[in-house]
Structure 1
């Protein structure tokens, strides 16, 4: 064999070895998922509970071999409930930290601001909490998905509950941004269609998000002709609201009260017996509402790990990781556009049943839960839900044409 041929073979062998080493090195690199949630201020518990859901899912996924043989690594950022902060965090996660996907978002206002940037980032976003219909409606795009219940779905279910009430004059108390205003708008439209004789009062109440004093709004409702009230205050604000409402005798007035996210276990844990019995409470997921193997496993694993019942935000976070896992495995890659495409129309098993991301708008067809606050659960330290209703996700979701989404 001449020297030239030997040299050629050695170069080829070296190149092959180098490529093999690079391939193995890439395979060993973790898949990075960036989570953006509220991690400070009055709603910080939502970020805390979301992280518990993310961490539990990632621990399970990694223990079972990861995704495509690669371990998963979570990176956490605080949105501070500000759209500009969330956008900055998303760009940092993708451009500086190498995130393959983004998950989370709690505030509708934050989601409205951040969703348009996903086409720039070219990474899939799975929203686990923020409920504005706009992000799977007029602001929809190829990269944005939502695994949790949105305002339209929940308010149609709410209207179905309210339509059976004797209340005639309805008003609202909700945060003064998209979530509060859209909750009232959708609820009113659905209820009026079901029960045309109801009166949707012009006297509405929208305290700022993060307000400390709700008494002027509580007093205003108590001094009005309202006999039905939709309350979409949430998080730490809802805890403060309920305590102040108790002090004012609000719950002794015989009003028909509907709390749109009152059965969030973060809130119920903070309030304990201070949450009154006999009021309508909703949640995007109630841990005791689903009799399936995935939910049984999730609830047990969560209680074993953290000692309390999982919230809907923890469930949404947990489900998002498994949705992303299936999409990556379907696509055979972590490439952003490929994974986003794989999510479209995809179904997977979640604690709240089989979930499908509708291809036309990327909204998950999931089931709102409504019940009535019942006795205390001594073991978990929260009120139970009685008269629990699990609404069919498909039945409460408007058509793609109605959403305004054009993908």
Structure 2
């Protein structure tokens, strides 16, 4: 009997030891497995203007982070898909990232349309998500698992209309695209104009893939508008700038932060000269005073990007930089990849210095920026200069 009990005790100890070793192995395996960051961007199609620098930035900084030891002792693995500027593809890729790739967090998409297509699945799966698109509707109303990096369309409208008023303009024409960003921007601009006592002399729209917007501009030319605001993303606003020049229009032309890139200047050519737009500090980083908290991080990002890719940095890549680095910061503060804990850490972000602004998230604000994060810039001599 004693022998039998002893034998059972021996077997029990072996079973316990085996279970403990298995648990340890599982824990070790989890610790050694990479942290998966999923992303859907528009590297091709009309929004490649946004997605190409975003993809380059994400790949560059995942490499840099891993070279420095990773996060929580684990490497990052970037799982990235190109939606070709198609919201339906973004929706399908979101499903793949969640169900097949089993990512820990998401950074992207490039456009408002793609972002909105992805959100229902992300909210259902309860995965922390930072969008690189701008429309207010992404985070208004607040969605528990959704955050975004770019300044809102409402902030852009406010910054532009404030500048118009400083120049003595009381009326303007609005020309917005029919995509998600343009639609939301149009809504916010009309509301902002009414609140600021500005008259919308003409309200025109264009398609994101349009190659000629002369008919709309011809109407605007005789509308009595004192200035023009183009609200859209992609390459179409550069085409509008060229059409504007061809028509010899005199009303000052504004765009939004959707064009805050030297790529816009390159495509528009001489027609970009004199155009004003709100922009993050990144485009004028070298001109900032040393006391500006964003100067060091902006210059470091610009140098890293330009050294690697031999091309100009853009604010769109800057949003990807900030989104990835904020997600990494949240994972570090959470001390885990537990999705709820990472989400809570994102929501508690306070004083995060990015190239796009200094972020302060809260349960009621999943963007974390105000209009002071914008600088008004103007194209002069083919480069951006701050309007002072």
The TM-score normalised by the length of structure 2 is 0.88
Query: Structure 2 residue aligned with 1:189, among 188, 191, 194?
Result: 191
- For the 8 Å contact 1:142–1:341, the answer to whether it is kept is no
Contact 1:126 1:320 in 2 (8 A): yes
351, 356, 378: which one pairs with 1:372?
378
1:341 equivalent in alignment to 2:344: yes
Q: Is the 8 A contact 1:209 1:237 kept in 2?
A: yes
- Determine the C-alpha separation between the residues in 2 that align with 1:184 and 1:12: 65
Equivalent position of 1:199 in the other structure: 199
CA contact (8 A) 2:181 2:233 kept: no
Point out the structure with the larger helix share: 2
Q: Is the 8 A contact 1:184 1:230 kept in 2?
A: no
Q: Distance in 2 between matches of 1:284 and 1:206?
A: 26
8 Å Cα contact 1:46-1:266 kept in structure 2: no
How far off its partner does 1:8 sit? 3.2
Which of these residues, 303, 313, 319, is aligned with residue 322 of structure 2?
Answer: 319
For the 8 Å contact 2:150–2:356, the answer to whether it is kept is: no
2:310 counterpart (307, 319, 327): 307
> Which of 284, 288, 291 is the equivalent residue of 1:288?
284
After TM superposition, give the deviation of residue 355 of structure 1 in Å: 1.6
Paired residue secondary structure (1:370): strand
Say whether the 8 Å CA contact 1:50–1:313 is kept in structure 2.
yes
Encode CA deviations 1:180-230: one digit per residue, 9 max, x unaligned.
233233334334433x3x4212x3211112122222222222233222111
Which one is further off, 327-336 or 143-152?
A: 327-336
Please provide the CA RMSD for this pair. Answer: 2.2
Q: SS of the residue aligned with 2:97? A: helix
5 Å-filtered alignment, 1:8-407, equals: 8-128=12-132, 130-138=133-141, 140-194=142-196, 196=197, 198-201=198-201, 203-246=202-245, 248-249=246-247, 252-260=248-256, 261-271=258-268, 273-289=269-285, 291=292, 292-347=295-350, 348-365=352-369, 367-376=373-382, 383-387=383-387
Between the aligned partners of 1:185 and 1:12, the Cα distance in structure 2 is 64
Using a 3 Å threshold, how does the CA distance of structure 1 residues 163 and 189 change in structure 2: closer, same or farther?
farther
Corresponding pairs, count: 373
Q: Deviations along 1:350-371, whole A, 9 cap, x unmatched?
A: 2245322233131221512321
Per the normalisation by structure 1, the TM-score is 0.84
**1-structure distance, mates of 2:68, 2:88:** 37
CA distance in 2 between counterparts of 1:356 and 1:295 reads 18
* Off by >6 Å, runs of 4+ in structure 1: none
3-state SS, counterpart of residue 106 of structure 2: strand
Specify the SS of the correspondent of 1:80: coil
Task: Return closer, same or farther for 1:316/1:65 CA change in 2, 3 Å cut-off.
Answer: same
1:358–1:365 contact (8 Å) kept in structure 2: no
SS of the residue corresponding to residue 72 of structure 2 reads coil
Counterpart contact for 1:160–1:191, Cα < 8 Å: no
Query: What SS is found at the alignment partner of 1:206?
Result: strand
Match of 2:253, SS state, is strand
The CA deviation string for residues 24-45 of structure 1, in whole angstroms up to 9 with x for no partner, is 2111111111111222212213
Q: Helix, strand or coil: the match of 1:149?
A: coil
Change (3 A) 1:285 1:34: farther
Question: Once the two structures are superposed, what CA deviation does each residue of 1:244-268 show, in whole Å capped at 9, x if it has no partner?
Answer: 333x23xx33212111133223322
Query: What are the ranges of 5 or more consecutive residues in structure 2 without an aligned counterpart?
Result: none
Q: 1:5 to 1:178 in 2, by over 3 A?
A: closer
> Which consecutive unaligned segments of at least 5 residues does structure 1 have?
377-382, 389-407
Distance in 1 (alpha carbons) for counterparts of 2:161 and 2:171? 14
The offset of 1:168, in angstroms, is: 3.4
SS at match of 1:67: coil
How has the CA–CA distance of structure 1 residues 184 and 119 changed in structure 2, closer, same or farther, with 3 Å as cutoff? Answer: closer
8 Å contact from structure 2 (residues 174, 200) kept in 1: no
> Per-residue CA shift, 1:298-335, capped at 9, x if unaligned?
12211211223321111111111111112112222212
Residues 135 and 180, structure 2, Cα contact 8 Å, conserved in 1: yes
